[in-house]
Chains A and B, each alone.
Chain A
Amino acid sequence: MKKILLENDHVEGIRFFEAYRKHGGYRSVETALKQMGPDAVVEEVKKSGLRGRGGAGFPTGMKWSFLAKPEGVPRYLICNADESEPGTFKDRYLMEFLPHLLIEGMIVSSYALGSNRSYIYIRGEYAWIVDILEQAIAEAKQNGFLGKNILGSGFDCEIYVQRGAGAYICGEETALIESLEGKRGNPRIKPPFPAVKGLWDCPTVVNNVETLTAVVPIINMGGEEYAKIGVGKSTGTKLISACGNINKPGVYEIDMTISVEEFIYSDEYCGGIPNGKKLKACIPGGSSVPILPANLLLKTAKGETRYMNYESLADGGFVSGSMMGSGGFIVLDDDQCVVRHTLTLATFYRHESCGQCSPCREGTGWMEKVLKNIEYGKGKLSDIDLLWDIQRRIEGNTICPLGDAAAWPVAAAIRHFRDEFEWHVLNPEECLKRNYGLAGYADPIHVPVGS
């Protein structure tokens, strides 16, 4: 497969303008600003079928066309570089090694949306990347790709980098906007949506880093060509950050036609499970999406091969499927304990809830405590049903999707690994001594009909 985002990531000095430009960098800015109007760029992105890479997979072209354009009101583009979801580290790779690709994508996107001041909101922990990005911005400005009247087109654009202060919730777009405005990063109540009232109450588009970099190849090759890569509504390439029990953790660019099995076992990608262990489970799209046991991961409930794309990963809904999410691919081998793993995630969400709405604020803490009891051999069988009930009461009843994101992993773990929870309760001493769960899931198990 031909890489289109990471094509040049190993070129010496590609982090700097000179090498980047030599390898075809900033061509899309020239094409867009000299030959295309803003609407034509939006049209091209629509044709490409590009879907948001931040997690929800919303079609980017459509999102852009929703942007309100009242007379005399500035519009803003914000790049969401808050990447804090456990298991997701693809944006970091892009920004660290190909900063100019992001800047290039942002210039073209800013042009399409009419944003003269665009922002990169980056997670606080990526402190050193701020310098890399600011250097890239300075270089782009020196070379006339940013600033006033870019390439004589009459379009002005500045890009600013703003560091977050270490809160996962500030990745949620309205919390991000609040934080960018200098306030506490609480998600806003929608509507109004950012496309109408976003940053400083002006129309705003928030896009993920990878989404904005994908605009570069879309303009370079044309939306239709881009749409030919991939399958169905999963067009283009997707970065997957793979981690966990695999031989080759890292960031991979895939074209969404390969099967999950190939992705895990082929040497081109994850290179299989180390130490002769078996695949037990996997979270295919970042910590928020449902975990799947090996059998449901490799094949759908209908017995079809599961592929690494939006539709196939979601096949079966939450009963037997999961989500593409942000592409944080976490693999668990048969030594891993699902209860402990779920506890780790619950701790994360408890810590990261902004605390605005009562179900999420109280429910995440409660789930963590119950899970802790189960993990440490102090649980009761009724605790499993209690957990189920707590997550059910959080999901869908909150302001922002963090509540759902906290509920889904718990729900999926109980749905698919209930006997592991029961084992913990029934073997309180043994579960303290060993730090792994039941291994049976690594063997293909029966998929219930109609699930």
Chain B
Amino acid sequence: MSEQLIKVTIDNITLEVPAGTTILNAARMVGGEVAPPAMCYYSKLEGSGGKCRTCLVEVSKGSEKDPRPMPKLVASCRTTVMEGMEVKNITSEKVIDARNGVVEMLLINHPLDCPVCDQAGECDLQDLSYGHGKAGTRYEFPRRTFDRHDLGPYIQLHMTRCILCYRCVYVADQLTGKREHGVLDRGDHSQIATYIERSLENDFIGNVIDVCPVGALTDRTFRFKNRVWFLKPMNAHRDCPKCSGRVTLWNRGEEVYRVTARKDQWGEIENDENGKTGWICNECRFEKKQTSDWVIEGPRDISRQSVISQNHYLKVEEPQNVLPEVMGGRNPKLLMDIHDVSDVNKPEIHLSEIQGPATSQTFEDNSNINPQ
């Protein structure tokens, strides 16, 4: 039997999706702005989602059979589409307003310590605040803080940054035999913890770092070693008896600074060639830090929007500079040295030494030139 297709309209774009698809996943098929932000949902983790409320959307028409609009905004990550459903995401003022509120709530107790946070540059909360937050805050109270804890040799928990998405709890539930950490207490005083301080010992527990949308769980072998936008992500693999062995290496020059699983455009771990989620084991993640451990496949595609695409590729072989050769030994900064070809300007004035934009006066006297 062929799969039943269901027609759904999201932000005035109509598409057909398999029955049982959630609104969020349907919207991701459209992509771009139409896909609501998701801070807690993780398609690879069963039962995840519904908690952060950033993905709220308005259902303006329930279905063909029951066209009534849904009375409240719904979590798109946990609501399945119905035939003829009409959904408004960015076309709904209610959604924009509610999302604004959710972002504000997520930020009131967040330390905003991005300048010293390892997650900066690849943090979902940074992106979310940038896209949906406000510049100021109305919160005038001390922020909630917790002590940092090392969960063993590999993982550090910085609970103050946690947004309680529960993803790491689901990872531990679904990937490891016995979960050793969880949410303690409740409400605004709840926290991710091991209760009695202990290290998380499991071959796959390192994946909590990859699913954590913020910098609450970080890689101790990478902490403060480098900023992600200085690193060059490379796809690599190795024969690993425990996991798929397909990873992203984050290199600077020849040095492997860290190893992560490969993430797709939604920040989720990609499937491997067998269609299984590409979780990686602790050994691949924390122990294999030599390029010789890996077969490097090539640089990884990074979205142009990401700050990581701004990175400086160090020790990359640069194209040979042929300018001195063709310009009689001179190596001008500008490709065409304007002083050489024009008599209008004064060749003794170096453009790069002028403070601010050049004006006609710049060339009349020399007073604007930086004394050096």
Contacts and interface: CB of A to CB of B under 8 A. Distances in A.
B106 A362 contact: yes
Most buried by A among B56, B108, B166: B108
Nearest to B79: A191
Contact of B51 (A358, A365, A392, A396): A358
B104 interface: yes
Interface in B47-77: 49-54, 56, 72-73, 75
B164 A355 contact: yes
Given A355-B164, A358-B51, A369-B141, 12 more contacts: A167-B186, A184-B182, A184-B183, A356-B164, A358-B52, A358-B53, A359-B53, A359-B101, A361-B105, A362-B108, A366-B108, A397-B53
Contact of A351 (B78, B108, B187): B187
The 3 A-B pairs at the shortest CB distance, nearest first, are namely A393-B101, A365-B188, A355-B190
Interface string B97-112: 0100110111011000
A135 interface: no
B266 interface: no
A167 B185 CA distance: 10
B178 interface: no
B139 interface: yes
A30 interface: no
A350 interface: yes
B138 interface: yes
Interface of A: 167, 169, 184, 189, 350-359, 361-366, 369, 386, 392-393, 396-399
Q: Is the interface of B mostly helix, strand, loop or mixed?
A: loop
B163 interface: yes
A352 B56 contact: no
Nearest to B185: A355
Interface residues of B, number: 33
Contacts of B102: 358-359, 393, 397
B51 A362 contact: no
Contacts of A398: 53
Contact of A358 (B105, B138, B185): B105
A350 B185 CA distance: 12
Given A350-B188, A358-B51, A189 B183 contact: no
Contacts of B164: 355-356, 358, 361
Nearest to B108: A362
Q: Max chain A CB contacts within 10 Å: which of B52, B53, B185?
A: B53
Interface in B112-160: 138-139, 141
Contact of A362 (B56, B72, B105, B183): B105
Contacts of B56: 397
The majority secondary structure among interface residues of chain A is helix
9 contacts: A354-B190, A355-B183, A355-B189, A358-B54, A358-B102, A366-B141, A369-B141, A393-B102, A397-B53
Contacts of B104: 393
B53 A353 contact: no
A352 B187 contact: yes
Contacts of B186: 167, 169, 352-355
B270 to A, nearest CB: 26
A393 B106 CA distance: 12
Interface of B: 49-54, 56, 72-73, 75, 78, 98, 101-102, 104-106, 108-109, 138-139, 141, 163-164, 166, 182-183, 185-190
Nearest to B100: A393
Contact of A356 (B51, B139, B141): B51
A349 to B, nearest CB: 8
Contacts of B166: 356
Contacts of A396: 72-73
B343 to A, nearest CB: 65
Contacts of A397: 53, 56, 72-73, 98, 101-102
A362 B103 CA distance: 11
B108 A357 contact: no
**Among the interface residues B182, B186, B187, which one has the most CB atoms of the partner chain A within 10 A?**
B187
A393 B108 CA distance: 14
A189 B72 CA distance: 14
Contact of B163 (A351, A358, A363): A358
Nearest to B104: A393
Nearest to A402: B187
A361 B187 contact: yes
Contacts of B108: 362, 366
Contacts of A365: 109, 187-188
A357 B52 contact: yes
Contacts of B163: 358
Contacts of B109: 362, 365
B49 to A, nearest CB: 8
A369 B75 CA distance: 28
**Which of A353, A357, A358, A397 gathers most chain B CB within 10 Å?**
A358
A169 B139 CA distance: 26
A356 B75 CA distance: 13
A398 B51 CA distance: 8
A351 B49 CA distance: 23
B50 A399 contact: yes
Nearest to A372: B141
A240 B54 CA distance: 40
B209 to A, nearest CB: 22
B138 A354 contact: no
B85 to A, nearest CB: 15
A365 B139 CA distance: 11
B141 to A, nearest CB: 5
B193 to A, nearest CB: 13
Contacts of A392: 101
A199 B164 CA distance: 25
A359 B55 CA distance: 13
